[in-house]
Chains A and B, each alone.
Chain A
Amino acid sequence: MITLDRRNFLVSTAGLAFAAALPRTAFSETNDTLKIAISAETGDLDLLQNVSTLSTYTIVFDALIHYGQNGALEPGLATKWTIADDQLSIAFDLREGVTFSDGTPFDSTAAEWNLKRWMGVSDFSWIGISDAFDSIVTDGPNKLTVKLKRPVPAALLELTIVRPVRFLSPKAVDKDGKQTAPIGTGPWIVEKYDSSGTSLVRNDKYWGEKPLFSRMELKVVPDELARANGLRSGDLDVIGGDWVATLSPRRARALESDGMKVVAEPGTATMLLGYSPKSKIIADKAVRDAVYASVDRAAIAKVLFEGFADPAADLFPANVPSSGKRHDVPVRDVAAAKKILADGGWAESGGAWTKAGSPLTIDFLVSEESLPGSRRIAEMIQGQLSEVGFQVQVSSVDNATMHERRPAFDYDLAFFTTYGAPYDPHGTLGNAFVSTADSGPDGKIYVSDALDGVVKAALEASGAERDLKMQALYDWLYDNTAICPLVVSQRLWAHNPRAENFSLPATDYDLPFKAITLKA
């Protein structure tokens, strides 16, 4: 029998008070709630600021045009768009009857106000349509025309990116124009957010197909193992996505064996080796050809990506618009690589190559932090190149150092990835292959004076000529062995069997929720 003496009373009271004082996150979790892991807090989703994570914008805010599967442009807040023959204006028919989640109507006035927050503003000059912006003309509540100073062939694709192109309620700003709340027209409304997660409720006034459940919880779980365990235990329904909460191939296989559902779809970003234009060794085409022939892409895809990657021979995968004709993925050929070097004037002695007294030594810049998994890939490539006779020094550095050394071309060989949908092909081509472009911390994949003109011609072409010029560019890169594509990693997600009818959205900047139903 328990007696309530003074000591027991004090101990019990102190225990209860301590338990009550513990910080807790009051998520309401029902069968009508989809729980998705995110690796970092979403932030306030300010469309003009840089601190919020990219993956949540697209479910709260709509753009005029949405990026569909394989790069198809789909109507968003614009139902129709027409580019003038001179390409100096784009006319939009705006969707009627749309309201922001605070009840404010979306019309040409709201659209113009939104577009003028970033079009023509110097902070957003990296967006072609902003840099070339001239003026906006409205014609009634549902028609709007953007006028440009010069043609921007990728203008429509640019209007599908994550930010700042999406639309905010004009009432959701303070007197200085700073965003005060994330009020959009999208399928979800932010109910609250903090450092542990973001709660969203369905926007019942959404103009499109409404979600089949009423709540979504984005839970911040930075550790991948914790996310996997959360999925196994049912604390989470969905994990994955390169821009949401990365799921590694090895973890995906482990989850599969535990009865979780893994969804892998072709990716849109290519991992490739880039060559420094300042490297004397790399300037020798024979060396580039030998590297190209030495790398075993199939082994990388099979062993390091557990099969969740596709070997690549082209700059962009086929699901990126205007990505050109496909080349056969080369099969690793050590003898061919050696012959290429010998034909190129390199002399082999004791398993090592020299030319004019210089050894075949390559500095391979790697940052596991900036590209997870890259160190293991670099070590595998190092082994493959060593078999041919290359002496490869892997320089493993942190993200910040990578961002200093890569723009300075302080390497011979370095990993790059193309930007992926919806930023390609114009994003990667315009920044990573043009010598005069200021690509900042991203550096360049390959540049040369001869290439500049080819890229310029491709990016400025429009209509039927665009694909021809693009193909000429891809052919140039291929013929000059200017790049060494490795693999296209697949878009990798896993979900609990509780979440049924799971399908992936068009890009990894979007969160999956459409068509998903939740089993009790």
Chain B
Amino acid sequence: MKRTILRRMLLACLLILAASALTFALVAAAPGNVAALIAERAAGPGADAHMIAKIGNELGLYDPLPIRYGRWLSGALAGDFGISLRTGKPISSEFAARIPMTAALLAGGGILAFIFSIALGIAGAVSNGGVMDRFLHAFSLIGASTPNFFVAALLVIVFSVMLGWVPTFGTSGFTSWLLPWVTIALFPASVLSRVVRVNLQEAMSRPFATTGFAKGFTRTQVLLREALPNIAIPFLTTFGAQFTLMIIGSIVVETVFALRGVGAFFIEAIRFRDFIGMQSVLLLFVVFFVMVNFIVDMICIVADPRMRRARGA
């Protein structure tokens, strides 16, 4: 067990290192001169070649790529991601201010996706080919194929503009979080509800279900007591993958609802060609992806004795 965890941790570190090098190279290879953008912003009509060169030198833009990468990575490992070219503030302080916002968005969305996917999956399985099952099937298909910016716009128009129940944007209280949570949760909830439904159907054909029926349990009882615990591993694995993808959704959701999180910072960094900000956010995303998958793996190992034995072997 301990060896498995250590092996997984080492693999996670290597993944993060490789991904950070790749993203650094990609961002550095993007066309355009960020020094020119900064100069234009500084001096407006008066930005000239001398000023551009000065800014480029100050930022070390003309150093070889490996040197720039090494300098950035050593700083990042020490918690110093550099200064945002757009805001002029340390990236670490931007993260400190913005990560709680993104964390709240992902946590709320994750909880909604978790609850609704299980509830809808069970409801479909209980209905088993009935009207409710078909309706939920259609609902999950629509939910999984509707872009979140469209969902967000629709929710805002109905619940904020027409009904006036919740604010259109910002974080002015608990109700202001409802629409962002629903928006970001819709896609994973739709996908996961199908995972639950299909796996429950498969579990219901397994011998332990037949035994349950033989004992006189109803279909619902067998579903909840026998089949549901047995789909934990595929559900958790898929949930982990969907949860990590929610951070991509946060880029759009934060922009649409004016939440000042990491996703919104990323979009603004791209627009301004704030390559230091972009690299830092991409590194954060990579760490998030790897960490969530690591945690899900550990939970699965703990939850499933078969996996524990297989990994230990």
Which A residues are within 8 Å of any B CB, using their own CB? 18-19, 21-25, 27, 29, 40-41, 43-44, 49-51, 123-127, 194-197, 219-223, 225-226, 229-230, 232-235, 369, 397-401, 403-404, 407, 419, 423, 427-428, 430-431, 438-442
The answer to whether A230 touches B49 (Cβ under 8 A) is no
Could you tell me the distance in whole angstroms from the C-beta of B32 to the nearest C-beta in chain A?
2
Given the complex, which residues of A lie within 8 Å of B41, measured CB to CB?
Answer: 50-51
Taking a contact as CB atoms under 8 Å apart, the answer to whether A404 and B157 are in contact is: no
* Nearest Cβ on chain B to A207's Cβ, whole angstroms: 28
Chain B residue contacts of A369, Cβ below 8 A: 271
Alpha-carbon distance between A21 and B271 when the two chains are bound, in angstroms:
31
Q: List 30 A-B contacts (CB under 8 A).
A: A21-B104, A22-B104, A22-B177, A23-B100, A23-B101, A24-B171, A24-B173, A50-B38, A51-B87, A123-B43, A126-B48, A127-B46, A195-B260, A195-B265, A196-B170, A219-B170, A221-B170, A222-B268, A226-B258, A229-B156, A229-B169, A400-B30, A400-B31, A400-B273, A427-B44, A430-B45, A431-B46, A440-B51, A441-B36, A441-B52
Instruction: Compute how far the CA of A432 lies from the CA of B165 in the bound complex, rounded to whole angstroms.
Output: 51
Residues in B whose Cβ lies below 8 Å from that of A51 = 41, 86-88
Q: Which residues of A contact B31 (CB under 8 A)?
A: 397-398, 400-401, 404
The answer, yes or no, to whether B62 is at the interface (CB within 8 Å) is no
- A-B contact sample (4 more), CB < 8 A, given A44-B88, A222-B258: A21-B104, A25-B171, A423-B44, A440-B39
Closest 9 A-B residue pairs measured CB to CB?
A126-B46, A400-B32, A50-B42, A438-B48, A440-B47, A51-B88, A195-B260, A441-B36, A221-B258
| B37 interface contact, C-beta 8 A | yes
Docked Cα-Cα span, A222 to B269, in Å, equals 13
Interface SS of B by simple majority: helix
Tell me the smallest distance from the CB of A287 to a CB of chain B, in Å: 29
* A43 cross-chain contacts in B, Cβ below 8 A: 87-88
Given the complex, which residues of B lie within 8 Å of A49, measured CB to CB? 42, 88
Residues from 104 to 138 in B contacting A, C-beta threshold 8 Å: 104, 107-108
User: Within 8 Å of chain A (Cβ to Cβ): is B56?
Assistant: no
Flag whether B25 is at the interface (Cβ < 8 A): no
- A230-B101 in contact (CB<8A): no
Q: Considering the chains assembled together, what is the distance between the CA atoms of A96 and B157 in angstroms?
A: 52
Query: Hey, which chain A residues are within 8 Å of B34, CB to CB?
Result: 400
The answer to whether A25 and B47 touch across the interface, beta carbons within 8 angstroms, is no
Chain B residues near A123: list those with CB within 8 A: 42-43, 51
A125–B50 alpha-carbon span in the complex (Å): 11
B218 within 8 A of A: no
Contact of B170 among A25, A40, A430, A431 (CB under 8 A): A25
CB distance from A210 to the nearest CB of B (A): 28
How many contacts A-B (CB < 8 Å)?
Answer: 173
Q: Quick one: given A24-B173, A442-B40, are A226 and B257 in contact (CB under 8 Å)?
A: yes
Do A226 and B256 contact each other (CB < 8 Å), given the known contacts A22-B177, A23-B101, A404-B32?
Answer: yes
- In the complex, the answer to whether A431 meets B45 with C-beta atoms within 8 Å is yes
CA distance A401 to B34 in the complex (A): 10
Given contacts A220-B260, A226-B258, A442-B40, contact A400 B171 (CB under 8 A): no
Q: Which residues of A contact B255 (CB under 8 A)?
A: 222-223
- Tell me if A125 and B101 are in contact (CB < 8 A): no
Q: In the assembly, what is the distance between CA of A24 and CA of B171, in Å?
A: 5
Q: Which residues of A contact B33 (CB under 8 A)?
A: 400, 403-404, 441
Whether the pair B167, A235 counts as a contact (CB closer than 8 A) is yes
Give chain B residues whose Cβ lies under 8 Å from the Cβ of A22.
104, 171, 174, 177
Are A399 and B48 in contact (CB-based, < 8 A)? no
Query: With A and B bound together, what is the CA distance between A219 and B273 in angstroms?
Result: 23
List chain A residues, Cβ under 8 A from B265: 195
- Return the chain B residue nearest A52 by Cβ: B88
- Residues in chain A near residue B170, CB distance under 8 A: 25, 27, 196-197, 219, 221, 235
**How long is the Cα–Cα vector from A23 to B264 in the complex, in angstroms?**
15
Chain A residue nearest to B169 in the complex (CB): A226
